[in-house]
Structure 1
Amino acid sequence: MIKYFIGVVVMSLSSAAFAACPDLYNHQFTTLQGNKINLCDYQDKPILVVNTASKCGFTPQFETLEGLYKRYQSKGLLVVGFPSNDFRQELASDKEVGDFCINTYSVKFPMITKTSVTGPNANPLHKQLIAITKQSPMWNFYKYVILPGGKQVYAFSSEVDPASEEVMGKIKPFLK
């Protein structure tokens, strides 16, 4: 009897938690390594979303992004990369992208499988980020900061360094 009661309570909590996930976070993605990432699991944390490309002049930002991830992951920051060929500067396959990121920049932060981030084929998260900020990625390494609960979302151009005060000033108040 007790086991059944506990099972019912756990199921109710899980259903309630799933239902409570705001639309902005209600996305699951697969990483280049084949792992699943559910943004609902990060709704109480700041998230730095970056569309990436391996053959772009801004590609050295991978080093800064990885540095931020190493430094602040334990304090709640999620850095997540979205490789995209929308600007014709990404490698052909997910394997090539993953190998490049690991071998060239030792990237360990989650990198999602190749996707579109602009126009009608943009992935659902980017469509929402564009609708909220009224800013579509103009180039690779465009950044969005989603603050906990999705109450505030900020867009930053490719030229803005991910470790800049402009970006980190939004994120740092929410790090634990």
Structure 2
Amino acid sequence: MIRAIILTIALMLGTQAHAVDLRAPFASIDGGTLTLEQWRGQPVLVVNTASRCAFTRQYRGLQDLYDRYRARGLVVLAVPSDDFRQELSSNEEVKEFCELQYGIDMPMTEITPVTGAQAHPFYTTLRSETGFEPRWNFNKVLIGPDGSVVATYGSGIAPLSGEITGAVEDLLE
């Protein structure tokens, strides 16, 4: 509630919302494509992930966060990336690993670059608009229902931390 009031005051004072590319398609690990635009009107937590990282156990927290809030509209999008050389070698291996080890059923993209010149357009515009670029696996970006960047979080912030759940709850009110 307090966070929602602060966000409202910031908007009233003219704080500029950051626009990121919501329309650029991600290849879905299940086939087809996904866009952040398809979830406009809902909060979306976008997380660059990797299967061989010390933070990989956060998959459990991401799935638990998704399970806790999906009925109220939250989407958690996992974006596997090998930018930090810690992802499995194929999309099939990633999908199988996530399903077997963590019971993942949240939306997931194929292995996607998130940093540098080859970064997906969402991450390119995120960097240019906010200055935020993943510095490691399991960096998180919370997109508000209006499509603006609400917050960014480093790898050390757990998915079920009060910082993330509080922001999500404020967006769902």
Unaligned runs of 5+ in 1: 1-21
**Residue in structure 2 matched with residue 97 of structure 1 by the alignment:** 94
Name stretches of at least 5 consecutive residues in structure 2 with no aligned partner: 1-18
Distance in 2 (alpha carbons) for counterparts of 1:29 and 1:144: 16
Give the percent of matched residue pairs that are identical in Structure 1 and Structure 2.
Answer: 40
Moved beyond 6 Å, runs of 4+: none
Distance (whole Å) between structure 1 residues aligned to residue 73 and residue 147 of structure 2: 15
Alignment of 1:64-75 (within 5 A): 64-75=61-72
Whose radius of gyration is greater, 1 or 2? 1
Residues 117-170 of structure 1, C-alpha deviations (whole Å, 9 max, x = no match): 001110011112222221110100000001111234311000001111111222
Give the aligned partner of residue 34 of structure 1: 31
Higher RCO by CA contacts (8 Å cutoff, separation 6 or greater): 2
Moved more, 130-139 or 79-88: 130-139
Q: TM-score, normalised by structure 1?
A: 0.83
Equivalent pair of 2:21/2:121 in contact (CA under 8 Å):
no
Q: Does 1:140 align with 2:137?
A: yes
**Does the CA contact (< 8 Å) of 2:139 and 2:152 recur in 1?**
yes
* Residues 174 and 53 of structure 1: CA distance in aligned 2, closer, same or farther (over 3 Å): same
RMSD (CA atoms): 1.5
Question: How far apart in 2 are the matches of 1:146 and 1:127?
Answer: 15
* Residue 43 (structure 2) pairs with residue 83 (structure 1): no
Choose the corresponding residue for 1:128, options 125, 128, 144. Answer: 125
Give the superposition deviation at 1:175.
1.8
Q: How many residues align?
A: 155
Larger helix fraction of residues? 1
Give distance in 1, aligned partners of 2:30 and 2:70.
Answer: 19
Partner of 1:141, secondary structure, is: coil
